[in-house]
Structure 1
Amino acid sequence: MSRLLSDSSTLREYSRAMEAPLVSLTTPGGSAGSISTPTPKKEGLKPCRVGFVHPDLGIGGAERLVVDAAVGLQQRGHSVVMLTSHHDPSHCFEETRDGTLKVVVKGNRLVPRSIGGRFHILCAILRSILLCLWLCVYGRDFDIYIVDSLSAGVPILHWLIGSKILFYCHFPDKYLTERKSLLKKIYRWPVDRFEEWTTGLADAIVVNSRFTRGMFHQAFPNISHLPQVLYPPLNLESYDKEVDESDPAVRMLKSTKKTLLSINRFERKKNIALAINTFATLNSQQLLDTKTFQDTRLIVAGGYDARILENVEYHRELQQLADQHRLVHHTIYPRESNNIPSDAQVVFLCSFSDSQRTYLLANAHLLLYTPSNEHFGIVPIEAMYASLPVVAVNNGGPTETVVNNITGFLCEPDPQAWAQVVRKVLVGEVTKDFLGGNGRVMVRDRFSLHAFVDHLESILSDLVKQQPLPSIPSSNAGPLDVLSVRTLVASCLEGTFGLIGSAVAVDVLDWNPDTLDAILKVAVEDATMLRSALTMHSSQVQIQVKNTSSHLLALASDSRNLVS
């Protein structure tokens, strides 16, 4: 590393924005630069039994976060189990496959991921509810549940188990889907209300960036919780491992060419086209001479699942875009290790192993991180720790992690602007060592797994000190308990999806339709919160409700009125 941070004023501004105290960092002239330091660890959290509830343990930023959090807590002596509706050993992070973490899969077979390529969110909600219902019967021995991505199961954990719930919001789901048609708006309206209601039932809420916190308040104005910002971490040890370059899957990636790298799931919102257009602009605008351009390649790596139609379609669209620019491209599908043609200018790496990721980050020349309004973005953190400079869009989460002109560049999402800064690095006007060295120091000090777990344990320590809610007893559970569980969940389904929800409860869960007679009406009040009124006909159910009234009455302050 030839130089370290030289713009202390820029870093002071960055540190103030991160709302954290400063620590000293050496600069070329021996002066002190500035960088923010993690929240100090709060002592006093005893070993806990922690259940992570995540909808699909695939390969993505959200999955990377929960896996790192689980590993970190487990290393601190906590008992950890990953609870999910889907886990494919061929499409997951190594820690969930090699026995490092215990993984329990429930609810995968009863409800599909979609119905005819539609109703993804409805199916995801039902799968989450099934998983949490299973927990009510078999998984009640957790002190804390850490739920992320989907809050649908929070009411069940909140009402029927009573363990503490921490909800990690990567980004409000209501902002993750387009709703151009009136029909889509009508379909999404109750789903959005349901998301706000269920999220608000968590005992504590954290978000992954200040940007997400702002969007959270905008999406859920009725939630009184003030979410804390808990930045996703890197497990630095996993990135420090030496890569076996004799591995065929790694060996095929070797090249004497300079590599521009894009890492994102194959989804349209990731705007991977910006990377291809930027690469093409380097040639079309003659920003590089012919030889330099021929000695440069673009690798587009990212999560790819053949079950997900968008992954398949978007990959095809990107191939067509490369064709339009007359760029030679080559695709490597999962579990393939064929040699890359020497004339390939754009390489699509559809899903990748940890070894491939580590090798690419260590040997690329520049990371092109293309999403706009990204919630946080763990990939720039991975790149900076690997001393790889980053080009990112100047909005969203990357503005909190990438320091412009110090660890990389923040630009408008315009191929012309991107091509200009890419050229600077490729021709040596700005050295990779300068940008990359600064990035590595920053990540080590602020985004390590150790700092993350310190902060997480501090939050959990506060959480366990809160007064616990009573739950429906798990011992000697009889028909009375089952009836109450069914009634409450059926109410939840009908309150969100009307009679269709009740039908699903009967069909999918094989419940007795008579139990649904307890649900008389569902009213929408305040145009923002769903509130349901339950009238219990059965005297036995009335007794059960009275026996757990101190727990059920908590619903009134959140979103629902129960009439007994």
Structure 2
Amino acid sequence: MVNVVFLHPDLGIGGAEKAVIDAALALKSRGHSVEFLTAHHDPTHCFTETKDGTFKVTVAGDWLPRSIFGKCYAMCAYLRMIYAAIYLVIFSGMKFDLIFCDQISACIPVLRWTNSRILFYCHFPDMLLTQRKSFWKKMYRAPIDWLEEKTTGMAHCVLVNSKFTANVFKETFTSLSWITPEVLYPIPDFSAFNKPVPTKNDDIPKNKRVIFLSINRYERKKNLGLAIEALGELIGKTDPKDVHLIMAGGYDERVAENKEHYLELRQLTEKLGLNDNVSFLRSFSDAQKRSLLHNATCLIYTPHNEHFGIVPIEAMYMRTPVIAVKSGGPLETVSDGETGFLCDQNAKEFSDAMMKFVENLELSEKMGNAGHSRVITKFSFDSFTNQLNGIVEKLCSN
């Protein structure tokens, strides 16, 4: 048995959080001791496993600011993660043989004070997630970018979430050419999706023949407006009474961008005259998610160069086809023309793909079944568990 601590910045609701929780479930299923340490955990805005006793969660450093007058988010996030690492090493009293950290590598020098093995999961280089349009932004980011690259190289093992991210890692961290990160697809534990689908869901519009669904956080980088614009194109070709789009997304009142982008999407919907054809859902339970995916004709997945993308995997497991942007992770998960369609990121291509489901309702079932088979064959949780368990046991045996 290996004592594992997951060190994560914020245990909210998002793809990164789902990935580490599923990794924790995988290791726990193999008899390892697993717990979490985080800088923030809100029981009203988190995944079930972090509040129902499945894992012990310790919070350290939530008193530290998340920003300074609405600026310096990255610096504050780094400081919060470093503080959490100091707490783990010096004050927590936790037993750990391996520390699994992700998103922010700046904490690794602190973790190296111990004899524990350090596994860093790189969802995507942080330095690529922000723009540097001004001189002062470049000056502010320069030491942060240097620190990210330097400290990432201090981990005993680096994992990435897709072949796409592995290539970006190599191109971005040029001083770490000696590191070949191992690809570990963040496959979810599908047990929650095997539970009964609720028979009643008021989020599903009545008397609509075709229901499109978007699931993603309310963030501008997720390109969510594309789904609404594509629906606008589609309605010009078919009866508006036939189709509906549900925009379901992770939403946190603490995050200004979530609130701002939600309003932007509402305004776009009104501008295109789609108020009767688009509904919005801000955050949802596991049961609601199962129901949404079960009742949807097709999932619309709009991020460009998404690092991996958990939602298309979940959708295909639930026998829901996927229309996604032809880039990033979906190139590895969605089989174009078999389990859905891969399109350039423009409204016309997306609407053309959506029209195929309007014209042929049987296509949803056919592609949905193919998607389910693809997930079972290529993206099983058992394979994920075996691979991760092997990595952990090898690290801790050295």
| Counterpart secondary structure, 1:237 | helix
How many percent of aligned residue pairs carry the same amino acid? 47
Q: Which amino acid aligns with 1:313?
A: E
Q: Distance in 2 between matches of 1:49 and 1:304?
A: 33
**Native 8 Å contact 2:109 2:151 kept in 1:** yes
- Which of residues 330, 354, 361 in structure 2 aligns to 1:422? 354
| Counterpart secondary structure, 2:44 | coil
- Which of residues 427, 433, 446 in structure 1 aligns to 2:378? 446
State yes or no: 1:60 paired with 2:21. Answer: no
Q: Distance in 2 between matches of 1:60 and 1:123?
A: 20
Q: Which amino acid aligns with 1:195?
A: E
**Native 8 Å contact 2:30 2:389 kept in 1:** no
| Counterpart secondary structure, 1:310 | helix
Residue pairs, 1:299-318, within 5 angstroms: 299-318=246-265
Q: Distance in 2 between matches of 1:393 and 1:432?
A: 18
**Native 8 Å contact 1:60 1:303 kept in 2:** yes
Give the CA RMSD over aligned residues.
1.2
Describe the superposition over 1:352-392 as per-residue Cα deviations: whole angstroms up to 9, x where unpaired.
Answer: 11111110011100100000000000010010001100000
Task: Give the structure 2 partner of residue 227 of structure 1.
Answer: 181
Task: Give the structure 2 partner of residue 476 of structure 1.
Answer: none
Q: Which amino acid aligns with 2:190?
A: L
| Counterpart secondary structure, 1:276 | helix
C-alpha displacement at 1:242, in angstroms? 0.7
Q: Which amino acid aligns with 1:308?
A: V
Residue pairs, 1:137-148, within 5 angstroms: 137=90, 138-139=92-93, 141-148=95-102
**TM-score (structure 1 length as normaliser):** 0.69
C-alpha displacement at 1:182, in angstroms? 1.2
Describe the superposition over 1:190-216 as per-residue Cα deviations: whole angstroms up to 9, x where unpaired.
Answer: 110000011110000000000000111
Which runs of 5 or more residues in structure 1 are unaligned?
1-46, 329-343, 467-564
Q: Distance in 2 between matches of 1:390 and 1:231?
A: 18
- Which of residues 198, 207, 221 in structure 2 aligns to 1:269? 221
Q: Which amino acid aligns with 2:180?
A: L
Describe the superposition over 1:488-513 as per-residue Cα deviations: whole angstroms up to 9, x where unpaired.
Answer: xxxxxxxxxxxxxxxxxxxxxxxxxx
**Native 8 Å contact 1:424 1:430 kept in 2:** no
Q: Distance in 1 between matches of 2:318 and 2:7?
A: 30
State yes or no: 1:404 paired with 2:336. Answer: yes
C-alpha displacement at 1:462, in angstroms? 2.0
C-alpha displacement at 1:283, in angstroms? 1.7
State yes or no: 1:96 paired with 2:28. Answer: no
State yes or no: 1:149 paired with 2:103. Answer: yes
Q: Distance in 2 between matches of 1:326 and 1:420?
A: 20
Describe the superposition over 1:539-559 as per-residue Cα deviations: whole angstroms up to 9, x where unpaired.
Answer: xxxxxxxxxxxxxxxxxxxxx
**Native 8 Å contact 2:37 2:88 kept in 1:** no
- Which of residues 166, 178, 183 in structure 2 aligns to 1:213? 166
Task: Give the structure 2 partner of residue 319 of structure 1.
Answer: 266
Pairs aligned (count): 395
Q: Distance in 1 between matches of 2:313 and 2:93?
A: 35
| Counterpart secondary structure, 1:222 | helix
Going from structure 1 to structure 2, the CA distance change for 1:439 and 1:252 (only over 3 Å counts) comes to closer
Bigger drift between 446-455 and 114-123 goes to 446-455
Task: Give the structure 2 partner of residue 44 of structure 1.
Answer: none
Task: Give the structure 2 partner of residue 178 of structure 1.
Answer: 131
- Which of residues 190, 197, 201 in structure 1 aligns to 2:150? 197
| Counterpart secondary structure, 2:13 | coil
Going from structure 1 to structure 2, the CA distance change for 1:310 and 1:155 (only over 3 Å counts) comes to same
Task: Give the structure 2 partner of residue 531 of structure 1.
Answer: none
Going from structure 1 to structure 2, the CA distance change for 1:184 and 1:345 (only over 3 Å counts) comes to same
Q: Distance in 2 between matches of 1:211 and 1:108?
A: 33
| Counterpart secondary structure, 2:262 | helix
**Native 8 Å contact 2:2 2:32 kept in 1:** yes
Q: Distance in 2 between matches of 1:139 and 1:451?
A: 33
| Counterpart secondary structure, 2:273 | coil
State yes or no: 1:431 paired with 2:363. Answer: yes
| Counterpart secondary structure, 2:155 | coil
Describe the superposition over 1:298-328 as per-residue Cα deviations: whole angstroms up to 9, x where unpaired.
Answer: 0011111111111111111111111110111
- Which of residues 156, 161, 168 in structure 1 aligns to 2:114? 161
Bigger drift between 137-146 and 299-308 goes to 137-146
State yes or no: 1:255 paired with 2:187. Answer: no
State yes or no: 1:385 paired with 2:332. Answer: no
Q: Distance in 2 between matches of 1:459 and 1:235?
A: 18
Q: Distance in 2 between matches of 1:374 and 1:90?
A: 27
| Counterpart secondary structure, 1:65 | helix
Q: Distance in 2 between matches of 1:312 and 1:400?
A: 32
**TM-score (structure 2 length as normaliser):** 0.97
Q: Distance in 2 between matches of 1:254 and 1:242?
A: 20
Q: Distance in 2 between matches of 1:419 and 1:117?
A: 38
Describe the superposition over 1:130-169 as per-residue Cα deviations: whole angstroms up to 9, x where unpaired.
Answer: 11111112245200011011111111001x1120011000
| Counterpart secondary structure, 2:385 | helix
Residue pairs, 1:232-247, within 5 angstroms: 232-246=186-200
C-alpha displacement at 1:72, in angstroms? 1.7
- Which of residues 297, 301, 324 in structure 1 aligns to 2:244? 297
Q: Distance in 2 between matches of 1:384 and 1:243?
A: 16
**Native 8 Å contact 1:144 1:163 kept in 2:** yes
| Counterpart secondary structure, 2:106 | coil
Q: Distance in 1 between matches of 2:46 and 2:85?
A: 22
State yes or no: 1:413 paired with 2:345. Answer: yes
Residue pairs, 1:457-536, within 5 angstroms: 457-466=389-398
Q: Which amino acid aligns with 1:297?
A: H
User: Which consecutive aligned stretches of 4+ in structure 1 deviate over 6 angstroms post-superposition?
Assistant: none
Q: Distance in 2 between matches of 1:256 and 1:76?
A: 46
Q: Distance in 2 between matches of 1:319 and 1:90?
A: 25
Task: Give the structure 2 partner of residue 562 of structure 1.
Answer: none
Which runs of 5 or more residues in structure 2 are unaligned?
none
Residue pairs, 1:541-552, within 5 angstroms: none
Q: Distance in 1 between matches of 2:334 and 2:290?
A: 20
Which is greater in Rg? 1
C-alpha displacement at 1:430, in angstroms? 6.5
Q: Distance in 1 between matches of 2:20 and 2:340?
A: 27
C-alpha displacement at 1:438, in angstroms? 0.8
State yes or no: 1:75 paired with 2:26. Answer: no
